[in-house]
Amino acid sequence: MRILLDQNAPRGLRDRLPGHEVVTARQMGWDTLANGALIAAAEAAGFGAMITCDRNLAYQQNLSGRRITLVVLDTNHWDVVRADIDRVRGAVGSVSVGAYIALSFERPVLRRRPYPGGSGE
């Protein structure tokens, strides 16, 4: 299947989805297209899925009648996505025409540094 990576999707996905042709919007010359035009161009070019991190896409675009599957990641941090890459592979492997698949990822707990010069209380 041909998969389009939106501008905001981690580029590392290109090499981690074996058996698929993964192309970035920039490689296609579509990096300046707005969401609706990007989806239409991807469908016209025969892409079966588009991976994006734009969680508002479902609210901004009328997705009914679309042939392309949208896989929406809730983060574009490569380390987080890479740690759970099998979920992305599973989503891509289970696409159906016009589906919308939202994936949420566990994020590491952030540790705060102590305030310099303060008691930290």
* CA 56 remoteness from chain centre: 12
Interval 51-103: pLDDT, tens: 999 988 777 776 778 889 999 999 999 999 999 999 999 999 988 888 889 99
Q: What is the strand order of the sheet 21-24 is part of?
A: 21-24, 2-5, 49-52, 69-73, 100-103
What percent of the chain is predicted at pLDDT more than 90?
68
pTM of the model: 0.84
